[in-house]
Amino acid sequence: MFTLDQFPLHFVRDSLEPYISATAIDYHYDKHLGGYISNLNTLIKGTEFENASLEYIVKNSDGKIFNNAAQIFNHVFFFNGLKNSGDGIPTEIESAFKDFKSEFKTAALSVFGSGWVWLIDDDGTLKIITTANADSPIKHGQKPLMTLDVWEHAYYLDYQNRRGDFCDAFLDHLVNWEFVTGNSKK
């Protein structure tokens, strides 16, 4: 059994305003993440995954169980990487790309339908990748450092169809860079 309490937010709900509203966090965290947790609990009952860790389930399941487990992992990773900081992009990330911000935004806009944009550490090389729907780098043995949720539900309340503006706000104001650089050392 997984519960929402296992994955607490590390910021106060209105602290990301004006870039993400408290209302959007209420829906995204309580309803969307909460929904995936509730679905997964129902799906794993009586299966080999009933007492498994979330990462184990993501790596070893497929179909509906994978979709819900991976969405939990991806959302927790996304929420853990948010902070209203406005700190600049760390040099070690900036220097690994020609134009990190523009490349990340181009990737975000390239996702057709629902998905995620990631900065990953691929055997020592920093790369920007996208995944579709619930797919997650940990399914493919890759190490995620940061992610942006580009499912419509992530931004529609605050930005309607303007995914690019949401991505700009994320990169300029909402990345917890300590979380990102901490992940690269794991």
Instruction: Kindly state whether residue 145 participates in binding Mn ion, applying the rule CB under 5 A.
Output: no
DSSP summary character for residue 82: B
Site map for Mn ion, 98-137, x if CB under 5 A?
A: ----------------------------------------
The helix (run of H) or strand (run of E) holding residue 121 is strand 115-122
Among residues 149, 159, 170, 175, the one that binds Mn ion under rule CB under 5 A: 149
Q: What's the rounded Cα separation, in Å, for the pair 158 and 141?
A: 34
Structural contact between residues 74 and 136, judged by C-beta atoms closer than 8 angstroms: yes
Instruction: Tell me the two tokens of residue 13.
Output: 């709900």
Among residues 154, 167, 171, 180, the one that binds Mn ion under rule CB under 5 A: 154
Q: What's the rounded Cα separation, in Å, for the pair 171 and 104?
A: 9
Phi-psi sector, 82: left (phi>0), alpha (psi -120 to 50), beta: beta
Query: Strand 125-132 relative to strand 115-122: parallel, antiparallel, unpaired?
Result: antiparallel
Nearer to Mn ion, 58 or 154 (CB): 154
Least Å from the CB of residue 35 to Mn ion: 10
Binding segment for Mn ion (CB under 5 A), chosen from 80-88, 108-116, 141-149, 159-167, is 141-149
Q: For residue 74, give the amino acid letter.
A: N
Nearer to Mn ion, 49 or 79 (CB): 79
Closest residue by Cα to residue 101 from 171, 149, 148 = 171
Binding segment for Mn ion (CB under 5 A), chosen from 5-13, 14-22, 118-126, 144-152, is 144-152
Nearer to Mn ion, 45 or 64 (CB): 64
Least Å from the CB of residue 109 to Mn ion: 17
Binding segment for Mn ion (CB under 5 A), chosen from 39-47, 101-109, 145-153, 165-173, is 145-153
Residues that bind Mn ion (CB under 5 A): 149, 151, 154
